Structure 1
Amino acid sequence: MGNGNREVISLDVDNFSPTVESGGVVVIDISAEWCGPCQAFTAVFHEAAASTEGVVFGHVDTDTQPELGAAFNVTAIPTVAVMRGGVLIFLHEGSLSAQALNDVIRQAKELDPDQVCASVAGKAAQ
Structure 2
Amino acid sequence: MSILTITKDNFDSEVINSDKPVLLDFWASWCGPCKMVSPIVDEIANEISDIKVGKVNVDEEGELAQNFKIMSIPTLLVMKDGKVHNSTIGVQSKQNILNLLK
Asked if these proteins are the same fold (TM beyond 0.5), I'd say yes
Consecutive unaligned residues of structure 1, counting only runs of 5 or more, are 1-5, 108-126
Cα offset, 1:23, TM superposition: 2.8
Aligned to 2:56: 60
Aligned to 2:37: 41
Q: 1:13 aligns with which of 8, 13, 28?
A: 8
| Partner Cα separation in structure 1 for residue 61 and residue 33 of structure 2 | 19
Q: 2:100 aligns with which of 83, 101, 104?
A: 104
| Partner Cα separation in structure 2 for residue 50 and residue 37 of structure 1 | 21
**Residue 31 (str. 1) matches residue 27 (str. 2):** yes
- After the TM superposition, list the runs of 4 or more consecutive aligned residues in structure 1 that deviate by more than 2 angstroms: none
* 1:91-117 deviation line (CA, Å, top 9, x unaligned): 211121011111212x1xxxxxxxxxx
TM-score (norm 2): 0.95
Consecutive unaligned residues of structure 2, counting only runs of 5 or more, are none
* 1:44-88 deviation line (CA, Å, top 9, x unaligned): 100111111110000000001101111110010000000001111
| Partner Cα separation in structure 2 for residue 35 and residue 12 of structure 1 | 19
Q: 2:59 is paired with a residue of what secondary structure?
A: coil
RMSD: 0.8
Aligned to 1:73: 69
Cα offset, 1:43, TM superposition: 0.8
| Partner Cα separation in structure 1 for residue 94 and residue 18 of structure 2 | 25
Aligned length: 101
TM-score (norm 1): 0.77
Highest Rg: 1 or 2? 1
- Residue identity over aligned pairs, in percent, reads 30
Greater relative contact order (Cα < 8 A, sep 6+):
2
8 Å contact 1:23–1:86 — kept in the other structure?
A: no
Q: Which amino acid aligns with 1:85?
A: D
| Partner Cα separation in structure 2 for residue 103 and residue 93 of structure 1 | 14
